[in-house]
Structure 1
Amino acid sequence: MSKPINVYSTPDLRQTLDEALPATFERLGFTQSFKLIDTKLFLGYSIALIAGISFMLDKKWTFEDALTYQKILVGAYVVLSVVFWYFSKYVEKGVKYSGSSGDRTVVVATKMEKHSVNYEVTLRDDRGKVIEAQLAANTVFNEAGYLQSDRLFKWFEEFLGSLVKKAQ
Protein backbone atom coordinates (compact mmCIF):
# COMPACT_ATOMS: atom_id res chain seq x y z
CA MET A 1 0.00 0.00 0.00
CA SER A 2 1.23 3.51 -0.72
CA LYS A 3 2.03 6.04 1.95
CA PRO A 4 -0.71 8.40 3.09
CA ILE A 5 -0.85 11.98 1.83
CA ASN A 6 -2.52 15.14 3.04
CA VAL A 7 -5.83 15.02 1.15
CA TYR A 8 -6.23 18.78 1.65
CA SER A 9 -3.05 19.53 -0.31
CA THR A 10 -3.70 20.00 -4.03
CA PRO A 11 -0.03 19.48 -5.03
CA ASP A 12 0.11 16.21 -3.08
CA LEU A 13 -3.12 14.98 -4.66
CA ARG A 14 -1.95 15.88 -8.17
CA GLN A 15 1.50 14.35 -7.72
CA THR A 16 0.14 11.10 -6.27
CA LEU A 17 -2.42 10.74 -9.06
CA ASP A 18 0.18 11.57 -11.74
CA GLU A 19 2.57 9.00 -10.28
CA ALA A 20 -0.18 6.36 -10.32
CA LEU A 21 -0.83 6.74 -14.07
CA PRO A 22 1.89 4.34 -15.37
CA ALA A 23 0.80 1.52 -13.05
CA THR A 24 -2.87 2.11 -13.86
CA PHE A 25 -2.33 2.04 -17.61
CA GLU A 26 -0.05 -0.97 -17.31
CA ARG A 27 -2.97 -2.81 -15.70
CA LEU A 28 -5.06 -1.69 -18.68
CA GLY A 29 -2.55 -3.36 -21.03
CA PHE A 30 -0.55 -0.32 -22.13
CA THR A 31 3.22 0.03 -22.38
CA GLN A 32 4.65 3.42 -21.48
CA SER A 33 6.44 5.41 -24.18
CA PHE A 34 9.28 7.73 -23.22
CA LYS A 35 9.62 9.62 -26.53
CA LEU A 36 8.63 12.99 -25.07
CA ILE A 37 10.95 12.63 -22.09
CA ASP A 38 13.81 11.41 -24.30
CA THR A 39 13.37 14.37 -26.65
CA LYS A 40 13.37 16.81 -23.75
CA LEU A 41 16.48 15.18 -22.27
CA PHE A 42 18.27 15.30 -25.64
CA LEU A 43 17.52 19.00 -26.02
CA GLY A 44 18.59 19.76 -22.45
CA TYR A 45 21.85 17.82 -22.71
CA SER A 46 22.59 19.46 -26.07
CA ILE A 47 22.18 22.90 -24.50
CA ALA A 48 24.48 21.90 -21.63
CA LEU A 49 27.06 20.50 -24.07
CA ILE A 50 27.11 23.75 -26.02
CA ALA A 51 27.59 25.72 -22.80
CA GLY A 52 30.44 23.40 -21.81
CA ILE A 53 32.17 23.75 -25.16
CA SER A 54 31.84 27.52 -24.90
CA PHE A 55 33.42 27.44 -21.44
CA MET A 56 36.32 25.30 -22.69
CA LEU A 57 36.96 27.64 -25.61
CA ASP A 58 37.12 30.58 -23.21
CA LYS A 59 39.69 28.79 -21.07
CA LYS A 60 41.89 27.36 -23.84
CA TRP A 61 41.93 30.08 -26.52
CA THR A 62 42.37 33.81 -26.61
CA PHE A 63 39.32 36.03 -27.04
CA GLU A 64 40.12 36.82 -30.69
CA ASP A 65 40.72 33.18 -31.64
CA ALA A 66 37.49 31.98 -30.02
CA LEU A 67 35.20 34.84 -31.08
CA THR A 68 33.88 33.27 -34.31
CA TYR A 69 33.26 29.95 -32.61
CA GLN A 70 31.61 31.66 -29.65
CA LYS A 71 29.18 33.46 -31.97
CA ILE A 72 28.23 30.15 -33.55
CA LEU A 73 27.86 28.48 -30.15
CA VAL A 74 25.74 31.32 -28.76
CA GLY A 75 23.50 31.13 -31.84
CA ALA A 76 23.13 27.36 -31.44
CA TYR A 77 22.44 27.82 -27.72
CA VAL A 78 19.68 30.34 -28.43
CA VAL A 79 18.10 28.17 -31.13
CA LEU A 80 18.11 25.05 -28.94
CA SER A 81 16.75 27.01 -25.97
CA VAL A 82 13.86 28.30 -28.08
CA VAL A 83 13.16 24.78 -29.38
CA PHE A 84 13.25 23.47 -25.78
CA TRP A 85 10.83 26.19 -24.64
CA TYR A 86 8.47 25.53 -27.58
CA PHE A 87 8.58 21.79 -26.96
CA SER A 88 7.80 22.21 -23.25
CA LYS A 89 5.05 24.77 -23.79
CA TYR A 90 3.23 23.48 -26.87
CA VAL A 91 4.20 19.85 -27.58
CA GLU A 92 4.46 18.39 -24.10
CA LYS A 93 1.86 20.75 -22.51
CA GLY A 94 0.84 18.86 -19.40
CA VAL A 95 1.38 15.34 -20.76
CA LYS A 96 1.89 12.98 -17.84
CA TYR A 97 1.63 9.65 -19.63
CA SER A 98 2.07 8.35 -23.14
CA GLY A 99 1.66 4.70 -23.99
CA SER A 100 0.54 2.13 -26.51
CA SER A 101 -1.31 -1.14 -26.60
CA GLY A 102 -1.10 -3.01 -29.86
CA ASP A 103 -2.11 -0.61 -32.61
CA ARG A 104 -3.53 1.94 -30.18
CA THR A 105 -1.65 4.88 -28.67
CA VAL A 106 -2.93 7.19 -25.94
CA VAL A 107 -1.59 10.40 -24.46
CA VAL A 108 -2.83 11.57 -21.06
CA ALA A 109 -2.56 15.20 -20.00
CA THR A 110 -3.64 16.25 -16.54
CA LYS A 111 -4.02 19.37 -14.48
CA MET A 112 -5.47 20.35 -11.16
CA GLU A 113 -6.39 23.89 -10.26
CA LYS A 114 -5.23 25.31 -6.96
CA HIS A 115 -7.72 24.73 -4.12
CA SER A 116 -9.74 22.27 -6.21
CA VAL A 117 -10.38 18.57 -5.75
CA ASN A 118 -11.11 18.02 -9.44
CA TYR A 119 -8.36 16.19 -11.32
CA GLU A 120 -8.84 17.23 -14.95
CA VAL A 121 -7.83 14.50 -17.39
CA THR A 122 -7.53 14.83 -21.16
CA LEU A 123 -7.12 11.59 -23.10
CA ARG A 124 -6.04 11.73 -26.73
CA ASP A 125 -5.59 8.74 -29.01
CA ASP A 126 -3.59 8.29 -32.21
CA ARG A 127 -6.72 8.77 -34.34
CA GLY A 128 -7.10 12.33 -33.08
CA LYS A 129 -10.03 11.64 -30.77
CA VAL A 130 -9.95 13.66 -27.58
CA ILE A 131 -12.05 13.22 -24.48
CA GLU A 132 -11.93 15.25 -21.29
CA ALA A 133 -13.26 14.42 -17.85
CA GLN A 134 -12.90 15.41 -14.24
CA LEU A 135 -12.17 12.98 -11.46
CA ALA A 136 -13.09 14.11 -7.97
CA ALA A 137 -9.96 13.22 -6.02
CA ASN A 138 -11.97 12.43 -2.91
CA THR A 139 -13.48 9.43 -4.74
CA VAL A 140 -10.12 7.65 -5.10
CA PHE A 141 -8.57 8.55 -1.73
CA ASN A 142 -9.83 7.34 1.62
CA GLU A 143 -10.09 9.49 4.76
CA ALA A 144 -6.62 8.46 5.93
CA GLY A 145 -5.04 9.72 2.70
CA TYR A 146 -4.34 6.42 0.98
CA LEU A 147 -4.86 6.12 -2.77
CA GLN A 148 -7.43 3.46 -3.65
CA SER A 149 -5.77 2.05 -6.78
CA ASP A 150 -8.71 -0.17 -7.69
CA ARG A 151 -11.09 2.79 -7.77
CA LEU A 152 -8.66 4.76 -9.92
CA PHE A 153 -8.26 1.76 -12.23
CA LYS A 154 -12.04 1.38 -12.64
CA TRP A 155 -12.44 5.09 -13.36
CA PHE A 156 -9.76 5.02 -16.07
CA GLU A 157 -11.19 1.78 -17.47
CA GLU A 158 -14.58 3.47 -17.94
CA PHE A 159 -12.92 6.65 -19.22
CA LEU A 160 -10.90 4.69 -21.78
CA GLY A 161 -14.06 2.80 -22.80
CA SER A 162 -15.81 6.09 -23.58
CA LEU A 163 -12.86 7.07 -25.81
CA VAL A 164 -13.23 3.80 -27.70
CA LYS A 165 -16.97 4.45 -28.16
CA LYS A 166 -16.23 7.96 -29.41
CA ALA A 167 -13.70 6.60 -31.92
CA GLN A 168 -16.26 4.24 -33.47
Structure 2
Amino acid sequence: MSKPINVYSTPDLRQTLDEALPDVFKRLNYEQSFKLIDTKLIIGYSIAVVAAISFLLDKKLKFEEALLYQKVLVGSYAILSAVFWYFNNYIEKGVKYTGYSKEKAIVVATKMTKYDYNYQVTLRNEAGSVIKTTLPANTVFDEQGYLQTDLLFKWFEEKLDSFYKKAK
Protein backbone atom coordinates (compact mmCIF):
# COMPACT_ATOMS: atom_id res chain seq x y z
CA MET A 1 0.00 0.00 0.00
CA SER A 2 1.23 3.46 -0.83
CA LYS A 3 1.68 6.28 1.61
CA PRO A 4 -1.23 8.71 2.03
CA ILE A 5 -1.13 12.02 0.19
CA ASN A 6 -3.02 15.27 0.43
CA VAL A 7 -5.85 14.68 -2.05
CA TYR A 8 -6.40 18.44 -2.32
CA SER A 9 -2.89 18.97 -3.71
CA THR A 10 -2.78 18.71 -7.50
CA PRO A 11 1.02 18.18 -7.66
CA ASP A 12 0.78 15.33 -5.13
CA LEU A 13 -2.06 13.70 -7.07
CA ARG A 14 -0.21 13.99 -10.39
CA GLN A 15 3.08 12.71 -9.00
CA THR A 16 1.46 9.73 -7.27
CA LEU A 17 -0.50 8.76 -10.37
CA ASP A 18 2.55 9.20 -12.64
CA GLU A 19 4.66 7.04 -10.34
CA ALA A 20 2.01 4.31 -10.39
CA LEU A 21 2.04 3.98 -14.20
CA PRO A 22 4.96 1.51 -14.51
CA ASP A 23 3.36 -0.89 -12.02
CA VAL A 24 -0.05 -0.64 -13.68
CA PHE A 25 1.35 -1.34 -17.13
CA LYS A 26 3.53 -4.15 -15.80
CA ARG A 27 0.34 -5.82 -14.57
CA LEU A 28 -1.06 -5.27 -18.07
CA ASN A 29 1.94 -7.22 -19.49
CA TYR A 30 3.82 -4.22 -20.85
CA GLU A 31 7.55 -3.80 -20.49
CA GLN A 32 8.79 -0.26 -19.96
CA SER A 33 10.97 1.29 -22.64
CA PHE A 34 13.56 3.90 -21.73
CA LYS A 35 14.40 5.13 -25.25
CA LEU A 36 13.11 8.66 -24.64
CA ILE A 37 14.95 8.98 -21.34
CA ASP A 38 18.14 7.56 -22.85
CA THR A 39 17.95 9.97 -25.78
CA LYS A 40 17.45 12.90 -23.42
CA LEU A 41 20.43 11.77 -21.32
CA ILE A 42 22.67 11.43 -24.39
CA ILE A 43 21.81 14.94 -25.55
CA GLY A 44 22.28 16.36 -22.05
CA TYR A 45 25.62 14.64 -21.52
CA SER A 46 26.77 15.81 -24.96
CA ILE A 47 26.03 19.40 -23.93
CA ALA A 48 28.01 18.90 -20.72
CA VAL A 49 30.98 17.39 -22.62
CA VAL A 50 31.05 20.31 -25.05
CA ALA A 51 31.00 22.76 -22.12
CA ALA A 52 33.79 20.84 -20.35
CA ILE A 53 35.97 20.79 -23.45
CA SER A 54 35.44 24.52 -23.86
CA PHE A 55 36.45 25.09 -20.24
CA LEU A 56 39.58 22.96 -20.58
CA LEU A 57 40.64 24.68 -23.81
CA ASP A 58 40.17 28.04 -22.15
CA LYS A 59 42.44 26.96 -19.29
CA LYS A 60 45.14 25.25 -21.38
CA LEU A 61 45.46 27.46 -24.46
CA LYS A 62 45.87 31.15 -25.03
CA PHE A 63 42.90 33.14 -26.32
CA GLU A 64 44.17 33.35 -29.91
CA GLU A 65 45.01 29.62 -30.04
CA ALA A 66 41.62 28.55 -28.70
CA LEU A 67 39.46 31.01 -30.65
CA LEU A 68 38.67 28.75 -33.62
CA TYR A 69 37.97 25.77 -31.35
CA GLN A 70 35.78 27.90 -29.10
CA LYS A 71 33.70 29.07 -32.07
CA VAL A 72 33.10 25.46 -33.09
CA LEU A 73 32.29 24.45 -29.51
CA VAL A 74 29.91 27.37 -28.99
CA GLY A 75 28.15 26.47 -32.25
CA SER A 76 27.94 22.82 -31.16
CA TYR A 77 26.61 23.89 -27.77
CA ALA A 78 23.93 26.06 -29.39
CA ILE A 79 22.85 23.29 -31.76
CA LEU A 80 22.72 20.66 -29.02
CA SER A 81 20.79 23.04 -26.75
CA ALA A 82 18.27 23.68 -29.54
CA VAL A 83 17.88 19.92 -30.12
CA PHE A 84 17.39 19.40 -26.37
CA TRP A 85 14.75 22.14 -26.24
CA TYR A 86 12.92 20.69 -29.27
CA PHE A 87 13.07 17.19 -27.81
CA ASN A 88 11.62 18.35 -24.47
CA ASN A 89 8.87 20.50 -25.96
CA TYR A 90 7.72 18.45 -28.94
CA ILE A 91 8.84 14.83 -28.74
CA GLU A 92 8.77 14.05 -25.03
CA LYS A 93 6.07 16.56 -24.11
CA GLY A 94 4.13 15.12 -21.18
CA VAL A 95 5.20 11.50 -21.82
CA LYS A 96 5.28 9.65 -18.53
CA TYR A 97 5.39 6.06 -19.74
CA THR A 98 6.48 4.22 -22.86
CA GLY A 99 6.07 0.49 -23.05
CA TYR A 100 5.55 -2.47 -25.29
CA SER A 101 4.12 -5.95 -25.14
CA LYS A 102 4.40 -8.78 -27.68
CA GLU A 103 2.54 -7.07 -30.50
CA LYS A 104 1.61 -3.68 -29.04
CA ALA A 105 3.40 -0.51 -28.05
CA ILE A 106 1.92 2.28 -25.96
CA VAL A 107 2.93 5.83 -25.10
CA VAL A 108 1.17 7.49 -22.17
CA ALA A 109 1.25 11.25 -21.76
CA THR A 110 -0.41 12.85 -18.77
CA LYS A 111 -1.33 16.31 -17.66
CA MET A 112 -3.07 17.83 -14.68
CA THR A 113 -3.94 21.49 -14.48
CA LYS A 114 -3.70 23.50 -11.31
CA TYR A 115 -6.79 23.38 -9.05
CA ASP A 116 -8.31 20.55 -11.11
CA TYR A 117 -8.48 16.97 -9.86
CA ASN A 118 -8.95 15.51 -13.36
CA TYR A 119 -5.97 13.47 -14.57
CA GLN A 120 -5.84 13.96 -18.33
CA VAL A 121 -4.41 10.91 -20.08
CA THR A 122 -3.39 10.62 -23.73
CA LEU A 123 -2.76 7.12 -25.07
CA ARG A 124 -0.93 6.61 -28.36
CA ASN A 125 -0.21 3.25 -29.99
CA GLU A 126 2.37 2.14 -32.56
CA ALA A 127 -0.02 2.86 -35.45
CA GLY A 128 -0.34 6.49 -34.36
CA SER A 129 -3.90 6.22 -33.06
CA VAL A 130 -4.55 8.58 -30.19
CA ILE A 131 -7.20 8.62 -27.50
CA LYS A 132 -7.59 11.37 -24.93
CA THR A 133 -9.45 10.59 -21.77
CA THR A 134 -9.86 11.93 -18.25
CA LEU A 135 -9.61 10.13 -14.95
CA PRO A 136 -11.19 11.94 -12.01
CA ALA A 137 -8.55 11.46 -9.32
CA ASN A 138 -11.16 11.12 -6.59
CA THR A 139 -12.22 7.79 -8.12
CA VAL A 140 -8.87 6.10 -7.42
CA PHE A 141 -8.01 7.66 -4.04
CA ASP A 142 -9.82 6.96 -0.81
CA GLU A 143 -10.75 9.53 1.84
CA GLN A 144 -7.46 9.05 3.72
CA GLY A 145 -5.40 9.78 0.59
CA TYR A 146 -4.32 6.25 -0.31
CA LEU A 147 -4.09 5.31 -3.97
CA GLN A 148 -6.32 2.34 -4.79
CA THR A 149 -4.05 0.63 -7.32
CA ASP A 150 -6.65 -2.00 -8.25
CA LEU A 151 -9.10 0.70 -9.29
CA LEU A 152 -6.39 2.48 -11.30
CA PHE A 153 -5.45 -0.83 -12.94
CA LYS A 154 -9.07 -1.57 -13.87
CA TRP A 155 -9.51 1.93 -15.30
CA PHE A 156 -6.45 1.61 -17.53
CA GLU A 157 -7.44 -1.93 -18.49
CA GLU A 158 -10.87 -0.71 -19.65
CA LYS A 159 -9.40 2.23 -21.55
CA LEU A 160 -6.81 0.08 -23.30
CA ASP A 161 -9.43 -2.52 -24.26
CA SER A 162 -11.67 0.13 -25.81
CA PHE A 163 -8.66 1.84 -27.38
CA TYR A 164 -7.46 -1.27 -29.19
CA LYS A 165 -11.00 -2.27 -30.22
CA LYS A 166 -11.48 1.21 -31.67
CA ALA A 167 -8.11 1.07 -33.46
CA LYS A 168 -9.02 -2.13 -35.33
TM-score (ref. length: structure 2)? 0.99
Structure-2 residue corresponding to 1:129: 129
What per-residue deviation string (whole Å, max 9, x for no partner) do you get for residues 93-127 of structure 1?
10000000012100000000100010000000001
Please report how far the alpha carbon of residue 49 of structure 1 lies from its aligned counterpart in structure 2 after TM superposition. 0.4
Deviations 1:20-64 (A, max 9, x none): 000000000000000000000000000000000000000000000
| Whole-angstrom CA distance in 2 between matches of 1:128 and 1:41 | 25
Which residue does the alignment assign to 2:61? Answer: 61
> Which secondary structure state, in structure 2, belongs to the residue aligned with residue 123 of structure 1?
strand
Q: Does the alignment pair 1:111 with 2:120? A: no
How far apart in 1 are the matches of 2:112 and 2:160? 20
Give me the whole-angstrom Cα distance separating, in 2, the residues matched to 1:63 and 1:103: 57
Q: Contact 1:24–1:152 at 8 Å: present in 2 too?
A: yes
Query: Equivalent residue for 2:101?
Result: 101
Letter in 1 for 2:51: A
Aligned partners of 1:129 and 1:166 also within 8 Å: no
Counterpart CA distance in 2 for 1:127 and 1:53 is 42
1:29 match: secondary structure = coil
Contact 1:33/1:99 (<8 A) preserved = yes
Q: Which runs of 5+ in 1 are unaligned?
A: none
Shift, 1:160, TM fit: 0.3
Q: Which amino acid aligns with 1:27?
A: R
Deviation by residue 1:123-161 (Cα, 9 ceiling, x = unmatched): 000011111110000000001000000000000000000
In structure 2, give the amino acid aligned to 1:6.
N
What is the number of equivalent residue pairs in this alignment?
A: 168
Secondary structure class of the residue paired with 1:82: helix
Task: State the 1:89 CA deviation.
Answer: 0.3
- State the Cα RMSD in Å: 0.4
Query: Which AA in structure 1 matches 2:42?
Result: F
Distance 1:98 1:166 in 2: 20
- Measured in 2, the distance between the counterparts of 1:50 and 1:18 equals 33
Could you tell me which amino acid in structure 1 is paired with residue 76 of structure 2?
Answer: A
TM-score (norm 1): 0.99
